[in-house]
Chains A and B, each alone.
Chain A
């Protein structure tokens, strides 16, 4: 195909998008909304995955002690912990220290601690560091049964919870997206059907003066692709803004959560959204071309 023919096709496609007015706006909005939701779900899943693998690779375990232990009892637990296999580092964090650290982590929001009225709800704890995440798991199982140990906390037990949440979001997202994809396909193919209908006379005449089927179909296919492209552009811009806003909020209030940085993650996501948008646009118009244009 020659470049000027392609230009001619684009011109024809744009002309008919103008002529379709409301339908064009409706299809672009539908594509944009669907892709925006797809983008948001992807952001959520990617961040939860990131969080999970972050926790999974942690080799630290916190052993919280019961509140009423005497100093010798605390030392006792410490002695037993010291011989755990694979241990590389062991640190005792007292109630007071824990509170100080928590205060630091809260940053601007340390006013919240005033609600405690001077009580310290945090327990004494040993923080152990191991060589591998597997050793953490084994140790945790044993240590929970030690006398004087209240509970054991480490990344992996949260991981399973996160994994469950991710699964739910994935499945919910897939169902929603399949539904939205169908709606999008439907509305795009409808728009193209209108175009085909508006130009049926022109199509017939093109045939009689010797236009090939490809030549006749291209502008219609392009119209669908352009609809998908514009929808994807809008969706990408919205996802960008949304991600910046939400991650900003999260960083303010839950600073310890690891967040996937927007760049370069967003480039991949936007690439995906554009690919899906263009594909849906092309398939949507192909459906109508096949159904309504006997060439």
Chain B
């Protein structure tokens, strides 16, 4: 589903964010990406969403080399990915419902379908009662859950989440992680960035550790090491 081949990313200011990253995520897998702040985790995700391009190497999503994607095809890639951004990226002047519906509006979904799907995911993330609130009236954790609802509302091929539990208390974090597991069990590939060790041990899934832009370990559940 996802394949990085010798990917290097250097930002314009010279910051080396990723170095020779090669990894592979199968369809249906649940992968955790860990590492200290500044390690390059968000960079990894931005490469997947075609927000940035690597200096060298290839990034494959669903058997397609997205580094060579034509500009006008980018929106169609993004529609297949559900991305939860580290900074949420919610629209301040739209309600919770409208924010989630937005992902369906851009693909010109029918209003009746939008209503049904949005209500369903808001129920899933436990925000049905806040549907008409504006993001600024929500807590950090609630905003994060809106972002998650928007990412999953369109049944993505891959759910990509950048620290989706960063602002949540342990209990809510568990709920979110359980929700991700549920989505994964339904067949969706999940890539989740986290540095919450409780979650890593709670989930007991494959962990890719990144440090200073390099993959330093790629551990399947139960400490088995994998290198390819």
Q: Do A and B bind each other?
A: yes
Quick one: closest A residue to B150, CB to CB?
A209
Q: CB < 8 Å: which of A4, A8, A209, A215 contacts B78? A: A209
Interchain CA distance A1-B72 in the complex, whole Å:
17
Stretch at the interface among A79-87, A200-208, A272-280: A200-208
Residues of A within 8 A of B103 (CB): 209-210
Residues of B within 8 A of A209 (CB): 78-79, 102-103, 106, 150
- List A175-225 residues whose CB lies under 8 Å from chain B: 201-202, 204-213, 215
Interchain CA distance A212-B111 in the complex, whole Å:
19
Quick one: closest A residue to B76, CB to CB?
A210
Residues of B within 8 A of A208 (CB): 49, 51, 78, 83, 85, 89
Interchain CA distance A26-B89 in the complex, whole Å:
33
Interface: A2 (CB within 8 A): yes
Interface: B75 (CB within 8 A): yes
Least Cβ–Cβ distance between B225 and chain A, in angstroms:
35
Interchain CA distance A207-B77 in the complex, whole Å:
11
Q: Are A8 and B91 in contact (CB under 8 A)?
A: no
Residues of A within 8 A of B85 (CB): 208
Q: How many A-B residue pairs have CB under 8 A?
A: 46
Interface: B107 (CB within 8 A): yes
Instruction: Scan B49-87; emit 1 where CB is below 8 A from any A CB, else 0.
Output: 101000000000000000000001001111100010100
Quick one: closest A residue to B151, CB to CB?
A209
Instruction: Scan A5-40; emit 1 where CB is below 8 A from any B CB, else 0.
Output: 100100000000000000000000000000000000
| 29 sample A-B contacts, Cβ–Cβ < 8 Å, listed by A number | A1-B108, A5-B108, A8-B105, A201-B92, A202-B91, A204-B89, A205-B89, A205-B91, A205-B102, A206-B102, A206-B106, A207-B78, A208-B51, A208-B83, A208-B85, A208-B89, A209-B79, A209-B102, A209-B103, A209-B150, A210-B75, A210-B76, A210-B77, A210-B78, A210-B103, A210-B106, A210-B107, A213-B72, A215-B106
Query: What residues make up the interface of B, taking CB atoms closer than 8 Å to A?
Result: 49, 51, 72, 75-79, 83, 85, 89-92, 102-103, 105-108, 111, 150
Q: Given A210-B76, A215-B106, list of 17 further CB < 8 A pairs?
A: A2-B108, A4-B108, A4-B111, A5-B108, A8-B105, A205-B89, A205-B90, A205-B91, A205-B102, A207-B75, A207-B78, A208-B49, A208-B51, A209-B78, A209-B103, A210-B77, A210-B79
